[in-house]
Structure formats: C-alpha cells, structure tokens
C-alpha cells in the first residue's frame, strides 16, 4: 500500500523542486540575455540597412527628377533651335 501511495504523489520532493526551480530561473535568465542580444543584433542590422538605403533612395529620386526636368525642357530647346518655327523667314 505504501508503494502505490508513493507512486500517486502529485508533488515532487523538496530537493527536486528546488533544483528544478533553480534550473527554471537559470533558463529564464539565459532566455532573457539571448533575447536582449537578438534585439540588439536586429537594431544593428536595421541601422546598417537604413544607412545603406538612404543614399540609394537619394540617387534614385535625383535620377527621376532629372529625367522629368529633361523631358520638360527638351521640347523647348528643340523649338528654340528650329529656324522654321514661329513664322519666320525660314532661312
């Protein structure tokens, strides 16, 4: 009867529960440290990507705006250089 009663215990003996509690605290501390390192690594990667992406975006926008300006002024230059435009003598 004593063996069957011990097999049905729902609580761990005190020594085991203290050891397992210590392991859980240790694992929790390790998990916290690892998560902080992962967050710091993530922030570093985002900062590096942002530093590389900003000049690329500036160059891209400069090309787009430059092409729009050229597209606007090119017809004006062609009209100005055309001697037959404007009803002149055509020479």
Inform me whether the pLDDT recorded for 24 exceeds 80. Answer: no
Predicted confidence at residue 29, as pLDDT, reads 78
End-to-end CA distance of the chain: 125
**pLDDT for 17:** 54
Half-sphere exposure of 87 (CA within 13 A, CB side): 0
Above 90 in pLDDT, residue 83? no
- Asked if 79 contacts 85 with a C-beta cutoff of 8 angstroms, the reply is yes
What are the pLDDT digits (tens) for 37-82?
999 999 999 999 999 999 999 999 999 999 999 999 998 888 888 8
């Amino acid at each position: 009867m004593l063996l069957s009663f011990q097999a049905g215990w729902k609580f761990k003996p005190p020594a085991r529960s203290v050891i397992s509690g210590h392991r859980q605290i240790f694992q929790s501390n390790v998990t916290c440290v690892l998560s902080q390192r992962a967050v710091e690594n993530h922030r570093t990667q985002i900062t590096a990507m942002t530093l590389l992406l900003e000049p690329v975006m500036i160059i891209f926008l400069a090309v787009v705006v430059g092409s729009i300006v050229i597209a606007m002024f090119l017809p004006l230059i062609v009209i100005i250089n055309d001697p037959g435009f404007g009803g002149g003598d055509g020479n």
